Each structure stands twice: as structure tokens, then as C-alpha cells.
Structure 1
Amino acid sequence: MLFNSLTFALFLPVVFIFYWSVNKKSLKIQNILLLGSSYFFYSCWDWRFLFLLIFSTLLDFFSGIQIEKAKSQYQKKFWFWLSIIVNLGFLGIFKYFNFFAESLKDLISIFGFQVNIWSLQVILPIGISFYTFHGLSYVIDIYKNRIKAEKNFIDYALFVSYFPLLVAGPIERATHLLPQIKKKRNFNYEQAVDGLRQILWGLFKKIVIADNCAIQANLIFNNSTEYSGSTLAIGAIFFAFQIYGDFSGYSDIALGVSRLFGIELLQNFSFPYFSRDIAEFWRRWHISLSSWFKDYLYIPLGGSKGGRWGQVRNTFAVFLVSGFWHGANWTFIIWGLLNAIYFLPLLLLNKNRSHIEIVALESKLPSIKEFVMMVTTFTFTVLAWIFFRAKNVKHALQFISGIFSKSFFSLPTERPTYLILLILLFIVIEWLGRRNKYALEKLEFQYNTFFRWSMYMIIIVFVFIFGAREQEFIYFQF
């Protein structure tokens, strides 16, 4: 079930009405209703993989209790590693088995041997990378004595499979979401209205920006040998806005939907394309994943305490694992490696935390220096995105070499005026709302009623005009 589908447009109001109709009866009934709705939401994709989700939930729920009540360090480690190995084992089998098999085959062929490698003919369970990380962080936090094990299975199962975040995040922490699940929730009109506003902006990002950019990006990437360098460059830019509109659009819808139920999820994007360096970009892009790797990989490896070499090693480890998390392809690993290389000068010069606040916080426009820094950061990010989008490493390298050719200085053959204008409008709105959690958050307080409702209606019209196609979200494949 897609957020941008008619099915979801019918599903959400039904769940919303039933959810608040039982508000005065029991919090337990509310949570059971949300859990049942989440399982139904997931099973609409493929009901068979619902059993994998439930098994993973049961494993981590039971392991958490056993870790907490263990009477010896051996028992504690046994249940901890059982959960870690089984969870990563499922993720490895479904997502990475064929990658390692093909890589082994290619390695053996270098030495002149040809072998037949058995591969799995299975589809990747949707959302497995996200709900697996929910469970891993929960078990690790219990093992490290940061939290107590949850004894209520309904509450824990809802934490893992809460439908707004189930298939593409944000990646939640038990310390943030579980207390909200266990606490009585009353309907808050302002919170619900804010949720609807964020849903509308998320739909605009996905349907109007991302899906239209996808048409042009797919055309150019799939036929890259036929285009000039300038057209390839604009194709890479279209993909940059496609993936941002698609993924941040999903996150906005997820956060907005959750607000309708009185639950606040973690912010996942904070205007990353206005970043002045790559370190700031990664503090603003896919925030929940970046912070997850920081807390559960970077810091356990030693963080910033192991000297300069240790910092460099740990940084590269995080970016490489982040790339591999996104997909079983060398293109994703190189994408992670490129971002680590971008990050390295900032780390060595101790400038990786130079830009914490949003750009031009106290002014309407950026300075010339800030503007140049944003354009430079965006350019390097777009180049890395080419590996993210390309079919394979060879395709990415050919695409990049095509950009840096004499034909770069020719006029692009694919430059749809309507899409360029939409992107410019999108950038302006994002810029005006950059101080907020999402672009339209303060619209109600900053502008008069006529302008505000005119803007809502324009966005709604655009969504309906471009909403004929139901396109999947990019991060469903991860």
C-alpha cells in the first residue's frame, strides 16, 4: 500500500476514525488497533513476509527479556548474540546473499576458473532494513543497560511495525517511540492540522517533484550514451531532486500521518541541499540513519577518541557500511566511499562541525561565500548520486566521463521548462521555510488567511494534476 495511492487515502481515514473513537475506552485497544492496522498495511504488499516481521519481533522481544533477567554474563551474551546473528542473518540472506555469490564468482574468474554459483530467486522483503535496525537498537540498548526490556508484547510489536514508518523509516529508537506508545494520547487539533499540512507537503514533494524528475532522470540515465555532457549533467540534477523529493516526501508523510494519531516521530530531513559542506549535509540527510550509525557503529569503534587515524578509520567504516546498507551493489559502496573522501578534509582540519545552524539564519539571502559553498556541496553530492543511480560501476564511470567532455558546453537537449519551473518553485518554498522542521510548518503564522489557503489550493491542484500515476518510493527497495 503506497502513501500516494487511493487505497491509502481510504485506509487512513478509517483507521483514524476507529482509533479516536476508542480513545476513552482503553489505551490497549488503541494500540491493538494500530498494530492490526500496521500488519494489514504491511500484508497488502505481500502477506507471506508478514510472518518474517512477526518472527523478528518475537525474537527481539523475548531476547530483550532474557538479556535483562540473565543471571550470568554468558547467558546475557548468548541471547544478545542470538538476536544479532539471526536478525543480520535474515538481512544478509534476503539482501546480500546474491551479491556475495556473484562477487565470489567474479573473483574466481580472475584466476581463470569458471564456476556456477547458486543464487536465491527471492524478492527483498519490503522494509526489512528498517525494522531490523529498530530491533537491533532495542536489543543493544538493553544489553548496554540503557533501557529496560519491554514486557508488553503489543506495545513492543507496535514500536517495531508502526505503519507510518514501517517500510521506509525514519528509524526510530525505543527510548523515543515506546514511551509515546505506552502513554495515553488525547486528540490535539493543532497537532492534527500540522500533520495534515506536512502530509500535503510530502505529497507535493513525491508526486509533483520526485515523480516528474524521475521521468527525465530515467530517460537520460537509461540512454546515457546518446546524450551530450550538458544533458547528462541535468539528468544527474534531476535525479538529485528525485531522490530528495521521494525520500523526504515519504518522511514528511510518515511524520504527518503519525501526528494524526498523537505520536511524534524523529525528524529525518532538514533541508540538506542548503548545506555548506558535506558534514552539514549528513547532519541533515536521512538523520535517523546517520545518528543510528553514529551511536551503534562509530562510537563503539572508538568514535573520536582513538586519535586522528582512529577517527579516519571509523569515519570510512561508517560511510562504507552506510553505502552497503542501501543496497547489494558495488555502486552503493563507492557512493559511500566518495562521501567519506568528501568528509575527510573537514575531519583533518577540524571543520566537520563548522555549520550547525541552518544557512542564513538571520538574513533573507545567503552571502556570496555561503552561496558558493552550497553550490559546491550540491555539485559534489550530485556526482556521488550518479553512482547511487547507475546500473553498475561501468555505467557510472561512463556517465561521469560523458559529463566531463566537450559537449558539456552545448545546450541540453532534455530541458523541460515546466519541470525546471517546478523545481525553482520548490527551492523557493523550501528556502523560505528552512528555519522550520518542514517548509510549510509556520505557514499559518507567517502569512494571512487568503495567501495561506491560496497556497494550499495550488499545492492540492498540482498534486491532483500529477497524481494519476502511482509510483513506488525509491527507498522501498532498501
Structure 2
Amino acid sequence: MLFNSLDFAVFLPVVFILYWFVFQKNLKLQNFLIVVASYVFYGWWDWRFLTLILFSTLVDFTIGYLLKTEERTARRKVYLWISILVNLGFLGFFKYYNFFVESFTEAFSFFGKEIQSNTLDIILPVGISFYTFQTLSYTIDVYKRKLEPTQNFIAFAAFVSFFPQLVAGPIERATNLLPQFYKKRSFDYSTAVVGLRQILWGLFKKVVIADNCATYANIIFNDHSNYDPSTLVLGALFFTFQIYGDFSGYSDIAIGTSRLFGFNLMQNFAFPYFSRDIAEFWRRWHISLSTWFRDYLYIPLGGSKGGMQMKVRNTFVIFLVSGFWHGANWTFIIWGLLNALYFLPLLLRNKNRVNTNLVAEGKWIPNLRELLQMLTTFVLTVFAWIFFRADSVSHAFDYILHLFQGNTNAASLSIPIELPYLLLFFILVEWLGRSSQFAIENLTIVPKYMRWCLYFGLILLLFLFAGQEQEFIYFQF
């Protein structure tokens, strides 16, 4: 079920009414309703894969229970590794089986030996990377004794399958989200208003910005050899705004929807395209994944405690694994490697924690130094996104070749006049709201009539300039 679909427009009010007006006085029934609603939400796509979520839930709930009663270190490690192998085993099979088989075959062919191999017609379950990491956070934190294992199966099942963030995050930690299912929740009007505001802004980012940019990014990338270099630059820029509007828009809708039900999810994006270096970009982009890798991979590998050699090694591991997490394609691995190379000069000079404050804090516009830093970081990011968007490594390199050496007399693409203005409006609103959790969060500081003008304006833009419906990009991850 898509957030930007008529199905969800019916589904959400029905669940909301049942949650607050029928089951308000019974916490267990509220949690049970969330489980049922979440399974309906996910099963709307393909009910067969509900068994995967249920099995993962049962495994990790059982592992948590066993860890609670087990004090022997060796046995606790066994239980932890069962959870890791089961969860990553399912993820590896559905997401990476064909990739490894094809890569293995191509490696032998490269050395002149042909081998026969068979791939499988595997359907990738939507959101498997997200809920797998979410359940792993539970067993790892219980193992480390950072979290008391739950004995409430319904609450745990609701945590694993919570429908607002089930298929594309944010990847919530058990330490943050799970305890919220234990506490009685009461409806708060002001919180709900902020939630609706965030949903509206998320829908604008997805439907107006991302979907419109996607149309032209797809046209250009799918036929790049027939366009001139300036059009190829536009293609890369359109994808840059598409993936941000698409993914951060999903996160906004997810977080806003959670607010309607009395839950607080972590911020997943913090205006990353206003970053002054790559380190700052990665502190602001897909925060739930970046911090997950930091806490559960980077730090266990030694983090920054060792010498520079260890820091460099761990940094490259994190970026390569992050690339691989995104998909079974060498393009994602190269994208991760490229970002690691961007990050390396900052790390070697110990400059990776310089820009931790808000850009142009307390000012309307950045100074010249900040502007140049933002433009440089943005250009590097746009270039890396070419590999992320390309269908294959050869496609990416050919795109870049035509970008720098293409025929200037080749065809250009006609872009609707309204699209640049929509992008400028989007960038302006994001810039003005960059100190908030999302761009239009703090509208209470402006007069009421201006707030309502903005609300109606955004709704009007949704109807007038909605792009061709596109599936959320991160559903495939």
C-alpha cells in the first residue's frame, strides 16, 4: 500500500478512528490493532511475505527471552548468532542470491573458463532490509544488556511491523520505539497538527517534486547517448532531487503518521543538500541507517579508537557495506566507494567533525565560504548519484563519458516551465526551515492566515502539478 494512494487515504482514517475512538481505553487492544493494521498494510502488496515478518518476529522474540534467562557468555553468543544468521540469511537469499551467482559466473568467464549457473526467479520482499535491521537492533541491544527483553509478544510484533515505517524506515532502534508500546497513549491535538503538517510536506516532496523529477530523469538516463551534455547534467540533477524528495518525503509521511498515533520516530533527514562537506552530508542523510552502521558495525570494528590505518579501514568498510545494503548491483558498491574516497581527505586531516553546527545559523543567507562549500559538496554528491541511478557500471561510465565528451549538437529535452519554479520554491522553503525537524514544522511563528494560505497552496500544488505516480525508490531496498 502506497502512502500516496487512494487505498491509504481510506486505510489511515479507518485505523485512526478505531485506535482513538474504539480502543482508546485499552492499551493491549490498541497494540493489537496496530499489528493487524500493519499486516494488512504490508499484505496489500503481497500477503505471502507476511510469513517472513512473522517468522522474524517469532525468532527474535524467542532469542530475547532466551537471553533474559541465560548468563553463560558462550551460550548468549550462540543465541545472538542464531538471530544474526537467520535475519541476514533471509536478507541474503532474497536480495543477493542472484547477484553472487552472476558475479561468480562472470569472474570465471573473465579468466577464460565458462561455467554453467542457474539464477532463481526471486521476488524481493518490500522493505526487507529495513525491518531486518530493526529486529537485529533488538537482539543486539538485549545481548549487550542495553535493553530489557520484552515478555509482551503483541508489543514486540507491533514494534517489528509498525506500518508507518515498516517498508522504508526510519530504521528504529528497539531502545527508542519498543518502550513506547508499553505506555498508555493519549491523543494530543497539537502533536496531531504537527503530524498532519509533516504528512502534507512529505506528500508535496514525493508527489510534486520527486515524481515530476523522476519522469525526466528516467527519460534522460534511459536514452542518455542521444542527449547533449547540458541535458545529461539536468538528468543527474533531476535524479538528485528525485531521490531526496522521494525518500525524505516517505520519512516525513511516516513520522507524521506516527505522531497521529502518539509515537515519536527519529529524524531521518536533516536537510543534507545544505551540507558543507561529505562528513556533514552523511550525518544528515538517512540518519537512521548511518547511525545503525556506526553503532553496530563501525564501533565494534574498533571505531576511531585505533590509529589512522584502522580509522581508514573502518570507514571504507562502512561505506562499502552501506552501498551493498542498498542493492545487489556493483553500481551501489562503487557509489559507496566513491563516497568513502570523498570522506578520506577529511578523515586524514581530522576535519570530519568540523561542520556540526547549522549552516548560516541565525542568518538569512550563507557567507561566500559556506556557499562554495555547499556547492562543492552538492556537485560531488550529484556525480556520485549517477552511479546510484545507472542500471549497470557500464551504463554509469558511458553516461559520464557523454557528459564530458558528448556531442553538443545532440538533442536537448524540453522541460515544462513550471518544474524549475517548483524546485526553486522547494529549495527556498527547505532553506528557511532548515533549523527544524522538517521544513514547515515551526509555522506557529507566522500569522494564522499565512499558515492556512501555505496549507491550501500546497494542496493546490498537489492537485495541479502531481507527477506521474512512481513507486517509492527505497521500496526496492
The code of the aligned residue for 1:366 comes to P
Higher mean C-alpha deviation, range 195-204 or range 465-474: 465-474
| Structure-2 residue corresponding to 1:367 | 367
1:315 deviation in Å? 0.3
Distance in 2, Cα, partners of 1:415 & 1:369: 32
Offset of residue 279 of structure 1 = 0.4
Cα distance in 1 between the residues matched to 2:153 and 2:406:
62
Q: Contact 2:209/2:423 (CA < 8 Å) preserved in 1?
A: yes
Deviations 1:132-186 (A, max 9, x none): 0011111111111111111100011111110000000000001100111111110
SS in 2 for 1:472: coil
* Displacement of 1:451: 1.7
SS in 2 for 1:164: helix
Task: Specify whether residues 188 and 417 from structure 1 end up closer, same or farther in structure 2 by C-alpha distance, changes over 3 A only.
Answer: same
Matched, 1:340 2:345: no
What is aligned with 2:290? 290
Equivalent residues in 2 for 1:71-110, closer than 5 Å? 71-110=71-110
Identify the residue that residue 457 of structure 1 maps to in structure 2: 456
RMSD of equivalent CA atoms: 1.4
Indicate whether 1:394 and 2:394 are aligned: yes
Q: One-letter code of the match for 2:82?
A: L
Query: Any idea what the Cα deviations from partners look like across 1:200-225, whole Å, max 9, x if unmatched?
Result: 00000000000000000000000000
Show CA shifts across 1:250-269 (max 9, x none). 00000000000010101000
Aligned counterparts of 2:229 and 2:433: Cα–Cα separation in 1: 34
- The one-letter code matched in structure 1 to 2:217 is A
In the TM superposition, what are the counterparts of 1:102-141 in structure 2 within 5 Å? 102-141=102-141
User: After superposition, where does 1:6-25 map in structure 2 within 5 Å?
Assistant: 6-25=6-25
In structure 2, relative to structure 1, the CA distance for the partners of 1:197 and 1:363 (3 Å cut) is same
1:421 aligns with 2:421: yes
AA aligned to 2:303 is G
- Does the 8 Å CA contact 1:319/1:339 hold for their aligned counterparts? yes
Structure 1 position 434 matched with structure 2 position 434: yes
Please tell me the residue identity of whatever aligns with 1:198.
Answer: Q
Structure 1 residue 409, shift from structure 2 partner: 10
Residue aligning to 2:194: 194
Structure 1 contact 67–77 (Cα < 8 Å) conserved: no
Q: Report the secondary structure of 1:335's partner residue.
A: helix
Contact 1:22 1:30 in 2 (8 A): no
Match of 1:279 in 2: 279
- Structure 1 313/21 Cα, relative in aligned 2: closer, same or farther at 3 Å? same
Find the aligned partners of 2:61 and 2:307 in 1 and give their Cα distance. Answer: 38
Q: CA deviation at 1:6?
A: 0.4
| DSSP 3-state at the match of 1:125 | coil
Alpha carbons of structure 1 residues 167 and 24: separation in structure 2 relative to 1, 3 Å: closer
Provide the residue aligned with 2:447 in structure 1. Answer: 448
Which residue of structure 1 aligns with residue 4 of structure 2?
4
Which position in structure 2 is the counterpart of 1:473? 472
In 2, distance between residues paired with 1:467 and 1:154?
A: 39
Measure how far apart 1:24 and its partner are.
4.2
Would you say the 8 A contact 2:211–2:466 is kept in 1?
no
The TM-score with structure 1 as length reference comes to 0.98
| Aligned sequence identity (%) | 61
- TM (norm. structure 2) is 0.98
Matching of residues 152-301 of structure 1 within 5 Å: 152-301=152-301
Structure 1 residue 48 corresponds to structure 2 residue 41? no
- Tell me the amino acid that sits aligned with residue 134 of structure 1: Q
Aligned-partner Cα distance in 2 for 1:80–1:166: 23
CA distance in 2, matches of 1:14, 1:201: 22
Instruction: Name the CA distance, whole Å, in 2 between partners of 1:162 and 1:239.
Output: 29
- CA gap 1:409/1:248 in 2 versus in 1, 3 angstroms: farther
After superposition, the C-alpha distances for 1:8-50 in whole angstroms (9 at most, x for unaligned) are 0000000000000135421111100111100110100000000
Q: Distance in 2 between matches of 1:62 and 1:89?
A: 17
- Contact preservation (8 Å) 2:192, 2:259: yes
Contact 1:155–1:178, Cα closer than 8 Å, also in 2: yes
Question: Equivalent residue of 1:78, what SS?
Answer: helix
Contact 2:207–2:467 (8 Å) recurs in 1: no
Relative to structure 1, the CA distance from residue 407 to residue 277 in structure 2 (aligned partners, 3 Å threshold; closer, same or farther) is farther
Match of 2:32 in 1: 32
Q: Is the 8 A contact 2:171 2:289 kept in 1?
A: yes
Moved more, 85-94 or 69-78: 69-78
2:473 maps to a residue whose letter is I
Q: What is the CA distance between 1:471 and its match in structure 2?
A: 2.0
Distance 2:298 2:240 in 1: 27
- Output the CA distance in 2 between the equivalents of 1:68 and 1:414: 63
C-alpha distance 443-409 of structure 1, shift in aligned 2 (>3 A): farther
- Partners in 1 of 2:233 and 2:285 — Cα distance? 22
- Give the residue type in structure 1 aligned to 2:195: G
Shift of 1:77: 1.7
2:349 aligns to what?
Answer: 349
Comparing 81-90 and 208-217, the one that deviates more: 81-90
Distance in 2 (alpha carbons) for counterparts of 1:165 and 1:318: 23
SS of alignment partner, residue 231 of structure 2: helix
CA-to-aligned-CA distance 1:241-285 (integer Å, 9 cap, x gap): 000000000000000000000101010000000000000000000
TM superposition shift of 1:361: 0.9
- Give yes or no for the alignment of 1:304 onto 2:322: no
For residue 130 of structure 1, report the CA deviation from its aligned partner.
Answer: 0.4
Higher deviation after alignment, 67-76 or 197-206: 67-76
Deviation at 1:238, TM superposition (A): 0.3
- Match in the other structure for 1:319: 319
* Separation of aligned partners in 1, 2:295 and 2:364: 35
What is the identity, as a one-letter code, of the residue corresponding to 1:83? S
Whether the aligned pair in 2 keeps the contact of 1:230 and 1:409 (CA below 8 Å) is no
| CA distance in structure 2 between the aligned counterparts of 1:423 and 1:71, rounded to whole angstroms | 57
**CA-to-partner distance for each residue in 1:43-99, whole Å, 9 max, x for gaps?**
000000001110011000101111221142232122111111111110000000000
Structure 1: gaps (5+ residues)? none
* Separation of aligned partners in 2, 1:62 and 1:414: 58
Tell me if structure 2 keeps the 8 A contact 1:5–1:470.
Answer: no
Deviation readout 1:95-143 (Å, 9 max, x if unpaired): 0000000000000111222222121211100110000001111111111
